[in-house]
Structure 1
Amino acid sequence: MTRSGTSDLYPTRGAGAAATLIPREHPTVWPSAYTGPASDGDLVMHDCNGYLKLPDLLTAGEVADHWDELGRLCTDPRVRADERTIVEPGSEDVRSIFEVHRLSDAVAELARDPRVAGRARQVLGSEVYLHQSRINYMPGFDGKGFYWHSDFETWHAEDGMPTPRAVSISIALTDNHAYNGGLMVLPSSHRVFASCAGETPDGHHEESLRSQQVGTPDRDTLRALTHRHGIDQFTGPAGSALMFDSNLVHGSGNNITPHPRSNIFLVFNSVENPLDEPYAAGRPRPEWVASRDATPLR
């Protein structure tokens, strides 16, 4: 597949596209002169598994402040009416609030925090910018999960992200248990690109942010990956976090318990990996889903 005269190392979707596993051509941890909170052992673990668990990233006081901020955002009529707020399928419960760093000074400050952005710079070996920010609020009893997927597959196909030189940090605002929809990951699955079949519908984000169908690995691919790598799950108290590679296959189940599961989700992209035109979509998704401003985060 070619695009603008450049070979696409990670072809996916498109007419006649078939599900397949493609070896990754780019590093997970890039050569870096940046110092920060991640130790050499942390970086080796992240490189090997594609993710790193960060216990006690936030203090109890910081968690309480951000939980109050989440409550403010979810009950603000202007925020609820904003297109950046996504509600659960079949209900009016808030599922996600996107571009939340522009709606909340507290989240904007957290994104710049050396404990967070500093780790992203170490992993990506460059200055970084926020590709995406959101709060995920999985309510109790009927919170819907996220099907298995690689974020980079979507960001490549629909946003035009050239390479998987991006990393996400999911920060727990509530206790994450195995039984309330905790995030599941396939260790080391970031080392292959799970190309997906099917074409991207026009305006796909309008549905995929509520329930993704296109851009998810097929069952044979998932069987092969889980057989090879197994499944791990991120659990931990409020204030803990998970940093994971953009190409790591992950997902979460429904939450039928009374206990909500809420996380702040920050995606850092290298300034040397700015978005281009989509690789497998008719037009880019909105800026509030995928920022095209690669100004370094200071």
Structure 2
Amino acid sequence: MKSVTVIGSGIIGLTTANALQEQGFQVRIVAKERFDKTLSNKVGAVWFPYAIEPIKKSSFWAAQSFDRYKKEAGIAPGISFVPFLNAYVDESKEEWVDQLPPGTVRKAKPEELPKGMEKGLIAEVPLAKPPLYLPYLFEKFLSSGGTFEQKNLTNMEEIANLDSWVINCTGLGARALCEDEDLHPMRGQILRAEKLTVPSFADPTKKGALSYIINRSKDSVIGGTDYDDDWNESIDPNDTNLILSRLKAFGIESDPKILEVIVGLRPKRSAVRFEFDSDYPNVFHNYGHGGAGFTVAWGCALELSNILSQKAR
């Protein structure tokens, strides 16, 4: 049986490992931390192509992921489809719309828009609850013969020697491992609050002023921040106040009851690195997915598994 080692156990690593198993590979995951300690376990995880390049390619990956989540809805714990409003402006690039089935996306009516939002698109989109979905993927991986090893890797030579094929899904950790200065953090602070009664929406139209509400079954995730090159993982009370003030700008008058404040560093890059390494040809890189990890994870994983399957013939 063909052998592959996947590095990283966040959403990119877990979907990659599962997709490779579906192609008949024997897969091992090696990671510094288990999935429950990764950035993927912290996020709101709604299907939303945000802060990711290249746009056309990521839109295709997002559409593939959309289809996969549709198949998993009702089967995989933590996966559901919810109505979601996405703000846009005339110059916005909304290529993802063209990748989805006809009738999936429609323009919002004026009465459906929050205060201050001029235009929006509404669609039923996938929503993942990481504390349920990530364990499902991990257990599925183990039950299909996969193995997990917790280990801190430090350089590309060490990575290349792990296996005949190695997939690098280390997210922001790839900056040091690959000496990739194009990869940098985009700091996000979010609030987990008691469930709100207003519809879920996102407004990414103003750089540095990302705002969104993601309503889940028992709570709501309110965001957020999108600060480039900010390595601060500590909670900033000023950001909490800023997030709440933006809510009021959308016409939401009463402050929600905050249950938890969460900070994470998104792995942003000028473009997702999705390629074989030029110096270590047995290593394939799959990192730099910005704020769209859950949105494109399955699309990347399925394309990657097809590429490797053809190589291994």
TM-score in same-fold range (> 0.5): no
- Larger RCO, structure (CA 8 Å, separation 6 or more): 1
When the two structures are superposed, what TM-score results if normalisation uses the length of structure 1? 0.24
* Greater fraction of residues in helix: 2
Larger Rg: 2
